[in-house]
Amino acid sequence: MRNRQHVNVNAVAFETFTGEMPKIEPGRIIELEIGCADAQFLFERAEADPSRHYIGLEIREPLVKAVNRNAKELGLPVQAIFVHASHHLEKLLPKGSVRHCYLNFPDPWFKRKHRDRRMINEQLLRQLAPLLEPGGDVLMQSDVFDVALDAMHVFETCDDIYENMRGPWTFWKEGNPFGVRSWREMNCEENNMPVWRMRYVPR
């Protein structure tokens, strides 16, 4: 399937939510990936433990459809939601319901002039914090140092609601603790590219 590489994330159309709400069974643990693309990371998590919900948010609708088709074929509890996450995250899931949130290689926008398109911004992070379980956490990883640093800047600006697990302004150096890799992470490893990671917990 061919997918447009990027969409205009600033388009007015994304301000209205037209996707389907996730179907959540009470009592099941929720893992959330924002910007999931093909959701490889979530599919591998779901294979390892199918008792949880794995919710992927994605702004490219054809990818959302493909993920949901695959989930049905494989019988795995992965659901992709068509959404601009910064506009609508807070209404998608119950408060205090997310055990792990993944921000895996979120931005294809390397250039400074495209900063206003970046997915990780204060609007997103302020909606995310109340959705996390007490004791839940957020992993952010990127192969672009500027993108990682910008993301850290946003998290550290929100230090009233997030705590860096390694101390303020500090990267997580112990690698990816979740045992599975997204498509982009797999590519980085195969090409020996460095990956910058950070982990935060809600206060």
Ligand X SMILES: C[S@@+](CC[C@H](N)C(=O)[O-])C[C@H]1O[C@@H](n2cnc3c(N)ncnc32)[C@H](O)[C@@H]1O
User: Which residues participate in catalysis according to the annotation?
Assistant: 107
> Phi then psi for 55, rounded to 5 degrees?
-110, 125
The single-letter code of the amino acid at 92 is: L
| Binding stretches for ligand X (CB under 6 A) | 9, 35-37, 57-60, 84-86, 104-106, 108, 119, 182-185
36 with 80: CB under 8 angstroms?
A: yes
User: Residue with the closest Cβ to ligand X?
Assistant: 35
In the complex, minimum distance from the CB of residue 121 to ligand X, in angstroms, rounded to a whole number: 9
Query: How near is the Cβ of 120 to ligand X at its closest, in Å?
Result: 9
Q: How far is the CB of 167 from ligand X (least distance, A)?
A: 26
> Which CB sits closer to ligand X, 127 or 158?
127
Give me the count of residues in the chain.
203
State the minimum distance, in angstroms, from the CB of residue 142 to ligand X. 9
Query: 3-class SS at 87?
Result: helix
Nearer to ligand X, 65 or 163 (CB): 65
Query: 3-state SS of the chain: helix, strand, coil percent to 5?
Result: 35, 20, 45
Using alpha carbons, select from 25, 27, 109, 93 the residue that is nearest to residue 57: 93
Alpha-carbon span 117 to 132, nearest angstrom: 24
CA 119 – CA 141 distance, rounded (Å): 13
